């Protein structure tokens, strides 16, 4: 095993055991989605937005998002955070919303939580170049408060179009806000993780795990998160 991978696994709190009787040193890892149709005047702002988004490609969508004024977060943001990664990725990781660092840099998960996410990816044998990373919200809520329902609702068509364009083989919801929004439920995260879900009306498998920022505060939960990621990997390999 690449010695660096041991470091990433270690950052995830994962112990790697080497079976005693083996003579080689291969460790065994334990644990385990352009036009605006102006005829749709009876539709709400976000509904008509949804119709036009259906036809957008990545570039058009990115441009639409960057100029978005659907909600008041447009007034306080430095810039939108569209998402980043491989537009042909099998894996889609979805967080909550940009924080201060992300708002400044225009990229998701670039702060401390992002470093842990990078290690989670590397522990899975992935990197940011292999996956796509997005958020429920494209704009930073002031003082990193939770997204308001109307903000999530305005942003939802963007994420849905991203998922349609990406067609990921698996979606990993990072944290309660992502999980509850994606699954349209108020069930606590502890009851959502550890099992397979499907995204909306699609067959795309969705796995819920803890948010990296939560794992930084509660490192003991890293093992559970690792179990979730291993389950996601198994689902993709099946």
**Site residues, ligand URA (CB under 6 A):** 95-99, 102, 108-109, 113, 135, 213
Whichever of 52 and 189 has its CB closer to ligand URA, that residue is 189
Residue 71 beta carbon to ligand URA: minimum distance, rounded to whole angstroms: 17
Q: Within 13 Å of residue 217, how many CA atoms lie on the same side as its CB?
A: 4
Residue 131 beta carbon to ligand URA: minimum distance, rounded to whole angstroms: 13
Residue 162 beta carbon to ligand URA: minimum distance, rounded to whole angstroms: 14
Whichever of 95 and 205 has its CB closer to ligand URA, that residue is 95
- Distance, in Å, from the CA atom of 30 to the CA atom of 14, rounded to the nearest integer, reads 8
Residue 63 beta carbon to ligand URA: minimum distance, rounded to whole angstroms: 20
Minimal CB distance to ligand URA: which residue? 95
Closest CA to 200 of 160, 152, 154, 155: 160
What are 144's two structure tokens?
Answer: 């990193």
In the block, residue with structure tokens 């819920």: 208
Whichever of 94 and 126 has its CB closer to ligand URA, that residue is 94
219: DSSP letter: G
87 φ, ψ to 5°? Answer: -75, 0
């Amino acid at each position: 095993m690449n010695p660096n991978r041991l470091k990433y696994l270690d950052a995830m709190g994962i112990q790697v055991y080497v079976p005693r009787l083996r003579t080689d040193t291969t460790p065994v890892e334990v644990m385990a989605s352009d036009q605006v149709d102006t005829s749709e005047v009876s539709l709400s702002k976000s509904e008509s937005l949804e119709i036009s988004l259906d036809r957008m490609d990545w570039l058009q969508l990115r441009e639409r998002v960057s100029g978005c004024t659907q909600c008041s977060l447009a007034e306080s943001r430095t810039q939108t955070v569209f998402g980043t990664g491989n537009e042909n990725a099998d894996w889609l990781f979805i967080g909550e919303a940009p924080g201060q660092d992300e708002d400044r840099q225009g990229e998701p998960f670039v702060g401390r939580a992002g470093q842990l996410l990078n290690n989670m990816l590397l522990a899975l044998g992935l990197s940011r170049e292999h996956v796509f990373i997005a958020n429920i919200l494209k704009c930073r809520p002031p003082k990193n408060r939770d997204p308001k329902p109307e903000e999530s609702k305005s942003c939802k068509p963007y994420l849905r179009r991203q998922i349609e364009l990406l067609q990921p083989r698996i979606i990993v919801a990072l944290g309660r806000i992502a999980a509850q929004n994606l699954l349209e439920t108020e069930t606590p995260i502890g009851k959502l993780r550890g099992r397979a879900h499907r995204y909306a009306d699609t067959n795309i498998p969705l796995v819920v795990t803890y948010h990296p920022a939560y794992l930084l505060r509660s490192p003991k939960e890293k093992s559970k998160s690792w179990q979730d990621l291993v389950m996601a990997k198994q689902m993709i390999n099946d």
